[in-house]
Chain A
Amino acid sequence: MDPNLFLPFVSTAVMIFFTFSVFQRWLARRKSYFLFWAIGLGLFAAASFAEAYFAAVGWSSLVFFTWYFFGAVLTAAWIGHGTFLLLVRKRWGQILTGLLIAASLGALVLMLQVMPKLDPTVFDRTRPISEQYRTKVIEPGDEVRPGSVMADTEYRGETVTVEQGVLPLGAPIRISTIFFNIYGTLMLVGGALWSAWLFLRKKVLPNRVLGNVLIAAGALSIASASTLTRLGVGSYLYLGELLAAVLMYSGFVLAARPMPGEEAAPEAAPAMA
């Protein structure tokens, strides 16, 4: 059995637990970074569920919207922004929060514009959606996957041969993903590594050192899998997501666990959750 058919179910289950844990912390402490983490993790869980739905049931435009907009566009930036809020002064946090919300609304408009142009006829539920979502130009000598739908199309005044995907060629929403994901990766991985380094330098709280390293490793695994997907190797995305879910959740549990005899510290939050 192809692991890509069941990996999203496991990722979804882990992410639901994870989201619930972080949301409970927000309810208890009302810190904005917990809220952004919870929202970002909830988006991650929704995108994983969309992958599970594609594998189990088949095509749905709404589910594609969930997968692409929540997963590919927003997730990393919203989780990473939580880390940003934890590490910077309130004023910068407010400015960047406004920018993130405005950019997310702009991306929503782009996503809604592309929805009527989706091509569901190329969708094959036995393959991961990460291998089928993008339409790419095929140059002479490029390898083409067996079963791919090829077509000639007009693009920027030229006729090009493309491997047809669900999203049309040159869809502007794809451009937005790079900005959201670079911001999210820098904040999430960078913030977790920075926090781990600070605790290491002060020689305190080994659980938070290890927890933050695990969180950074999880975030790096999904960032690497996403970059591979952009390079056209989408078959590792689901594995990267599962690794990210397990590593980040383990890091969260480890970092949030009080050490023996430890009092609650004012900034007792790991860099991610």
Chain B
Amino acid sequence: MHAKAGEMEPRDELRRNRDRTPDRIIPPSSRIPEGSRLYSKVLPAIILIMGVLTLFVILVAIAVFIGVFP
């Protein structure tokens, strides 16, 4: 069954609620502190480096597989 114009499909409503979930249920004590160097600079850099390393490890594994390395 389709919703009328202006009404939300149940799935859309669920999605909207899910997107709002952290705002509704996460208390201030569970939020990342504003201005924290760890969360604004260090961890994003670590995540980026680990992502690149992961791709590198996978590429080396593929290279071993196809015989680039003996």
Contacts and interface: CB of A to CB of B under 8 A. Distances in A.
A185 B57 contact: yes
16 contacts: A136-B70, A181-B61, A203-B32, A203-B34, A206-B33, A209-B32, A213-B43, A220-B50, A220-B53, A220-B54, A223-B58, A227-B57, A232-B70, A259-B27, A262-B26, A266-B21
Contact of A260 (B21, B30, B70): B30
Interface of A: 136-137, 139, 142, 175, 178, 181-182, 185-186, 189-190, 193, 196-197, 200, 202-206, 209-210, 213, 216-217, 220, 223-224, 226-227, 230-232, 259-263, 265-266
Contacts of A142: 70
Chain B residues touching A, majority SS: helix
Given A193-B47, A204-B30, A220-B53, A185 B25 contact: no
Chain A residues touching B, majority SS: helix
Contacts of A261: 27, 29-30
Given A204-B26, A230-B61, A265-B21, A213 B50 contact: yes
A186 B30 contact: no
Interface string B27-70: 10111111000010001101100110110011011101100011
A216 B50 contact: yes
A15 B36 CA distance: 34
Contacts of A227: 57, 60-61, 64
A178 B61 contact: yes
A223 B61 CA distance: 9
Contact of B31 (A137, A185, A196, A203): A203
Given A175-B65, A213-B50, A216-B54, 7 more contacts: A178-B65, A185-B58, A216-B50, A223-B58, A230-B61, A259-B26, A260-B27
A209 B64 contact: no
Q: Which 3 A-B pairs give the minimum distances between C-beta atoms?
A: A259-B30, A261-B27, A203-B32
Contacts of A217: 50
